[in-house]
Structure formats: structure tokens, C-alpha cells
Chain A
Amino acid sequence: MSAVDLRTTIGCGVELPNPLMTASGCAANGPELHRFFDITELGAFVTKSVKLDPQSGRGTPRMAETPSGMLNSIGLQGPGIDAFVRHDLPWLHEVGARVIVSIAGASAGEFAEVAQALVAAPAFAAVAAIEVNISCPNVANRGLVYACDPASSAEVLHLVSAVVPDRIPLLAKLTPDVTDIVAIAEAALSAGAHGLTMINTLLGMHIDIDRMRPLLFGATGGLSGPAIRPVAVRAIWQTHAAMLAGRLPVAPIIGVGGVRTGADALELTLAGASAIQVGTATFNDPTAPRRVLCELEELLQVRGIAAYAGLVGAAHPS
């Protein structure tokens, strides 16, 4: 069988050799998974969201298994941007990974400061894109989930885009926990985002019936895994449909949410995703991002499809 052209683009003319990525917060920052497979085989490696200062994260328990999924309540534990650009990014650069750096902040200004420090990093050449995590559910104040509000989303993207070179795509990561995800997408894209990553986890909760109290230390957590895949497909579908209808600027969608197999990746692609992230499935199978890539390629070969790019949004009526 002939080789499939898996190339895809993620905004600003940035082309990746294939659409598969890790998902932020499900792959640490590289060395751990590199023991299991060569992370440079992925289209891109997406790092754990980094804030300005080191973050301890929350107490434990930090996770609960749920039907075909899990709740997590990590609280963005991380080294802070200075340590990230000193240690983590150079390692990724050295192995030759194409990196998408996920950034977070407790204020719009903090997002911009983190982006500024990243842009100034000696290893910035490894960065293919910046994912702006405006939708982490594990924050003390729900008011800090920027992606629940169009104006807050726009403010973050506006400040970040002002300090990042035009050639670097900014991907706004959105939550499905909103009434109208298209309105949030519109706000982000108008304020400087070049693409959208969807979806982040859904806010959930589990109660320990023996102790009669919330199981997670942080009480609530983000629901992820195959259980939420239909929500991801719906969110991508609605957003891509709005682009086709001219209600939203055309922009790449990075699909994420419950992808475990090549078939799942194909499903998100048909809904409108130009690239695919594998998250929770990595906890089950550390090689999942690469395995999904191989399975996707095989699915396309079997179907006689020559190029991945032609499948993006193909399930929408023409």
C-alpha cells in the first residue's frame, strides 16, 4: 500500500508531519514518555501547562477512576516558567521534538508574562505553537476559568498575542462547560488566537460513600477519557459548522477528548479537527499517542485515502 500523506497545518502556515500530539497534563514534559517511544515521531509534543511561579498543586487524592474515564484534580503542579525554559524546553529541543508549550496564569497579565519569558528562551526555536490554557477547571475560583466568559478569553489572548511573534500560532484551549462554545471561540479568534484546542476536561465530582465526603482533596476535578469523547465530537462539530457557515473565522481546530484509538482520531477529524491530541489514554498505555498515529495511518490506507488533510470536517454536509 502507498504511504499516506499525514501532513497538517495548525495556523500561521506551521506545518506538522502528522496530526498526532500528546495532550497537556497527560505527558509531563517529555523524558518520561521518551522511555516508551520516540516522542519526535509525533506531530508535536504538548507540555504541561506552565505558570510564572512554581506550583505545588493540590493535596491528594488527586484522582478518581470513573466509567471509561477519570477525574483529576492536580492543580497545575509545575516548575514555573524560569525552570521550564532552563531545563525542560532545552531537553525537548535537544531530542528534536516539535513543541507546543501550554501556558497558564492566574491573571491575564500572568499569561502574557509567561509567554514573554518563553519567547525570550534560548531554546524557543523548538516551539511550534503556544497553547493558551484558559480552561483549566482545577482553580480555586471558577471565575478564573477564562474560557467560561468571552470577554475574559479575549483579554488573555489579546495580551498574549501582543508579546508573541506572528509566525507562532496561538491555540486557545476551550472548555465544553459553557452554553455556547462558538461564542467563546469567536472571542478568542478575534483577540488573536490562530487556532482552537477543544476540549478541556468537564468539571465533575465523586463522593466516597463510606466516608460520606468528596473523594478528591480538591472536592471537584476534571473529567476526561473515552467517556467524554462524544462531547468533544459535538464541540468540534459545532465550531467547525460555524466556520463553514461564515459565523466564525476559519481556523484550525486541535481535537482532544477521549481519543484512545485511530478510529477515535478519525472521528474527531471528520467533525472538523486538523490535529489530534491523546490525553488520558496515555495513562492506560504510555505509547498511546504513537499507537493512535499508526492506527490512523492504517485506517486511511485501508480506505484508500491519500491525504489526511482532505478529511478535516468531511462529515459536514457539503
Chain B
Amino acid sequence: MTPSPPNPVAQVRARVAATSAAGDYRRLVLDAPAIAAEAQPGQFVALAVGGPASALLLRRSFSLHRADPGSGQIEIVVADAGPGTRWIMGLQAGAQVEIAGPLGRPFPLPASRGACILIGGGYGSAPMFWLADRLRAKGFAVHLILGAASAGRLFGSDLAAAEEVTITTDDGSQGMRGRVTDPLPDLIDRLNAVDVYACGPMPMLRAVHEVAAGRGATAHVAVEEAMACGVGVCMTCVLPVVGRDGMTRMTRSCIDGPTFDGGAIRWDAIADGRVAVPADAIGVAGVRR
């Protein structure tokens, strides 16, 4: 493969403009005009944590919730996943934080003029409201499904009009009891949806892809792989992805993702937070191309 043609990216010291609680999560608004000017839904930013002498060296990556070139602001939603994310959640308005972005490939436009279904699992819903606005502005009908284990783990159920959103929780504490894939088949049929967009945990993305594919729709998924750098140099965020030539490659989700066609991901290699290298992947002993 030729060297990746990376998109323009900025590394900035951004000021925290505002923060607020959102269920179990924290929403941060950041002044980052250079990032806001270029960002598209599905892209992400990578934050350094703890300042220049921090013992936590690895960047934390977050899908962009919104970006507004007019105000020069971007928004992210942060969940407590350990000391690094807790440091970010503790940032107050006026604090400075180092950010690189926008990173990765945005969600693609729908393949046809049908309706679009946008699915967010937990805070994976963060980019979906912005994406919904963009799609509606281009004339697409949009329906959202937001799901989480419980009400506190939902993000953004107040950001969409009731007739446009279906909410599911595993424990039934908000919306219908069940998984995001429970209402999905009927919605695809009823809306004649051809494009499904999803962001959330891997098992959910796999289930969404399987339901969509079974009904002739395409799932565009944004993965949340662990990344050390977010900018393409550490090689830790790889997934087995099938290319146009039909061959599987261990592919960086920060450069060639985080958005992928659900049909291109080798779900058979992914289980329980671990990703194996498929035996037919390029670069396994004996497999060239």
C-alpha cells in the first residue's frame, strides 16, 4: 500500500470553554478553531492528559460530538475509564489541554436516497446528533436509536425530538427494555432504510451490521479501538479489515477508520475485547497477496 494520504490535522493547545454533566458522562466544549474548521462527523480528536510532565503518556481519543467552524468550538463526551479520562473529566472552564485533530475518516454519505438510521451505544451516540443534522440538511430522513445498559449510561436522549428517536436500555430504566438491535429490523423495513450508522462497543456494532446486512442495508460503523497516539504512528489500534482486493489486512483504525463499512470488518476475529489475526490476513506467514 502507498503511504496513507493523511488529511490536514492540527495540534493545538485548546482552552476549555465550558463543561457540564451528562448522565454518567462529562461534556466538554473546547476552543479549537483550527480543528473546528475542518472536522466532519465520525472524526475524532486525541487529547494529551496531565500536562507536559504527566506520567500518563498515551493520548485519549474521543469522537467529536460537534464542531462549529463559526464559533471555533468543538465538543466531546468523556466517560470515566481510568485515571486519564478522570483527569479530563476534572478539567474546569479556562483550563488548557493539548489536542490533535481532526483525525480519521468521517462517516461516508448514504449510498442512496433512502432514510438513514443512526445508532449510538452508550456515549457512542456522541457523533450521531451532528451527523443527523448534516444528513437532514442534505434531505435525508433520519431516525435515531439510542441504547445503553441503563438510563445513566445513555447520552443525548434529550437532544432529539421524540418522534425521531427510539430509546432502549438493558434494564428498562428508560425507553424500551432490550438492545438497540431489537427495534432495528422493523425500523429498517418501515423506513425503507438503506444506510445505518452506528458507534458504540464492538459487540453492538457487530450485531447492528448483521441485522442491517440481513435486510439489504449497509452499516457504517465507527469503532472505539484503544489507541496510544491517534495519529497513525503507534500501530496499536489495528483491526482485520477486508480491502477492495478481497484481502484482509491489519488496518489502523486511526488512519483508515474509525469509520468502516460493517461488511469489511472481520468480526470472526474479534471477541471479548481481543482481536486475533485471521489466518488468511496479509503478512501471516505465507500470505502475501
Contact = CB atoms under 8 A, between A and B. Distances in A.
Interface of A: 25-33, 35-36, 48, 53-63, 65, 67-70, 72, 74, 77-80, 83, 87-88, 91, 217, 225-226, 280-287
Contact of A283 (B59, B275, B287): B59
Contacts of A74: 235-236
15 contacts: A26-B234, A36-B9, A54-B282, A54-B289, A56-B249, A59-B269, A59-B274, A61-B273, A61-B274, A77-B238, A77-B250, A283-B57, A283-B233, A283-B234, A286-B231
B167 to A, nearest CB: 29
A284 B59 contact: yes
Contacts of B229: 282-283, 286
B228 interface: yes
Interface in B226-259: 226, 228-229, 231-239, 249-250, 255
Interface string B178-209: 00000000000000000000000000000000
Interface of A, secondary structure class, is loop
Interface string B259-289: 0000000000100011111000111100111
B8 interface: yes
A91 B5 CA distance: 11
B146 interface: no
Contacts of B250: 56-57, 77
A77 B274 contact: no
Contacts of A68: 55, 57
B31 interface: no
A28 B233 contact: yes
Contact of B3 (A57, A62, A91, A282): A91
A57 B240 CA distance: 11
Contacts of B235: 25, 28, 48, 57, 62, 74, 77
A281 B57 CA distance: 7
A106 B140 CA distance: 54
Nearest to A62: B236
B98 interface: yes
Nearest to B83: A65
Contacts of A29: 3
Contacts of B233: 26-28, 32-33, 282-283, 286
Most chain A CB inside 10 Å of its own CB: which residue of B1, B3, B239: B3
A79 B1 contact: yes
Given A31-B3, A57-B235, A60-B238, 5 more contacts: A27-B233, A32-B232, A77-B238, A226-B57, A283-B228
A281 B269 CA distance: 31
Contact of A60 (B11, B57, B275, B281): B275
A316 B238 CA distance: 44
Nearest to B274: A217
Nearest to A29: B3
Most chain A CB inside 10 Å of its own CB: which residue of B2, B8, B276, B283: B283
